[in-house]
Amino acid sequence: MDARPPHPLRLHCGAGAPPSRGRLHPESLSPTRTEYQRDRDRIIHCGAFRRLALKTQVFLPGEDAGYRTRLTHTIEVAQIARSIARVLGLDEDLTEALSLAHDLGHPPFGHTGEDALDEALAADGGFDHNAQTLRVVTCLERRYPDFDGLNLTIETLEGLTKRNGPLVAAQTPGGAVPAVPGEIAGFAARHGIDLRTWPGFEAQVAAVADDIAYNAHDLEDGLDAGLFDLSDLKSVPILAEILDGLARSGRSLDDDLTVRALARTMIGLFVEDVVATSTATLPVATPGTRGIASTPRLQAASDEVKAFLRERMYQHPRLLAVRRQAHQIVTDLATHFIAVPADLPEGRGAGRAAEPGSPASGRTVADYLAGLSDTGAIGEHRRLFASTPDLR
């Protein structure tokens, strides 16, 4: 029997969810969708979301092997997060919106591009992909005549701002917020977002789902790419345990099916652990505290998988060679556009420099470059430089 209130009462937010605190620019309610459904839909229909298809997760997009892109990663995160939110009775639409938006601020070439931009823009406050996500959804997406950005609810914006937990230690006195990107600190101050507390539980679910998703699928992609093999995984206790369990199951699986079973089993194990643990922690968690958690055993296991991936995948010589070239492409472009803003495409800052011939603001350049896909960045480099690394 469905205990939820009748349909019209659910329109503002999801079943059981408190009403949204609203949007930065007031809008009338939708007759057919909850506020968080509208947030999710706006994210799916925005240009930055579509460009995730052409952005690196670990491997460059366009390789035929079916490796994850940032878009397929995002869809997997949303699936895992929705499953957890549903069983815990949280708002699925808000959880999905937060998951789908969580990587919108990633520049081309993933963390390599982020590092390159951060270095190139050191004099302009650096670059942080979470701060960039906030810029994308609050000002860079242009789709509406009355405001810039997507005008998402404050709950979605708050969740994106603090997606990895409190950004400022609780004991930090109010006022200065060191080490927080300026964009986030300014936004939080303007809109009353407390950076010392945890974000809503839906945002906590999205963050946990991100970890679960990439641990499992980076392992799967790394195995498929031959960066390491199944026997190498025996050094990680949780993976050895899963592989032993599969071997004892009585089914004889070839390596290919074993890889699929490993990824599937990992996701199930971590999701079930988070659900069981959070079922106990959520009822006593107050807003602003941590309500979504894993057992210490699986938290440690997740850290061990990450350590393995760092050493055996992200630092693999094959990937390092490509990353060095990707770093060069982004550095070249940032340096060039700051010096020669006239080369920015029409409407992307060329006319915004204070004086003809004066350097472009680092932020203008960052906004343009971060908005490019991997393919777009390579194309821009080819347009402006005599030779472009082939990223092999």
Chain contacts with Mg ion (rule: CB under 5 A)? 103, 210
CB of 210 to Mg ion, least distance (A): 4
Closest CA to 344 of 355, 332, 333: 333
Dmax (CA) of the chain: 74
The DSSP 8-state label assigned to residue 136 in this structure reads I
- The CA distance from 100 to 119, in Å, is 28
In the complex with Mg ion, the residue whose CB is nearer, 68 or 381, is: 68
In the complex with Mg ion, the residue whose CB is nearer, 34 or 215, is: 215
CB of 103 to Mg ion, least distance (A): 5
- The CA distance from 87 to 129, in Å, is 30
Burial 339-364 (b: 16+ CB within 10 A, else e): eebeebeeebbbeebeeeeeebbbbb
- Measured in degrees and rounded to the nearest 5, phi and psi for residue 69 equal -105, 175
Tokens of 281: 């922690």
In the complex with Mg ion, the residue whose CB is nearer, 55 or 381, is: 55
For residue 305, the Cα-to-chain-centroid distance in whole angstroms is: 19
CB of 174 to Mg ion, least distance (A): 31
Residue nearest to Mg ion (CB): 210
The 3-class SS string of 44-84 reads HCCHHHHHHHHCECCCCCCCCCCCCEHHHHHHHHHHHHHHH
CB of 71 to Mg ion, least distance (A): 11
CB of 72 to Mg ion, least distance (A): 11
Residue 39: other Cβ atoms inside 10 A: 29
- Measured in degrees and rounded to the nearest 5, phi and psi for residue 138 equal -105, -20
CB of 30 to Mg ion, least distance (A): 28
CB of 55 to Mg ion, least distance (A): 11
Which residues does 289 contact at the CB level (< 8 Å), separation at least 6?
Answer: 197, 198
In the complex with Mg ion, the residue whose CB is nearer, 243 or 266, is: 266
In the complex with Mg ion, the residue whose CB is nearer, 17 or 305, is: 305
CB of 111 to Mg ion, least distance (A): 10
Tokens of 190: 């303007």
In the complex with Mg ion, the residue whose CB is nearer, 97 or 360, is: 97
In the complex with Mg ion, the residue whose CB is nearer, 13 or 80, is: 80
In the complex with Mg ion, the residue whose CB is nearer, 177 or 213, is: 213
CA 196 vs CA 60, 106, 162: distances in Å: 36, 24, 9
Q: Is the dihedral of CA 136, 140, 143, 145 positive or negative?
A: positive
CB 105 within 8 A of CB 127: no
CB of 378 to Mg ion, least distance (A): 22
In the complex with Mg ion, the residue whose CB is nearer, 206 or 378, is: 206
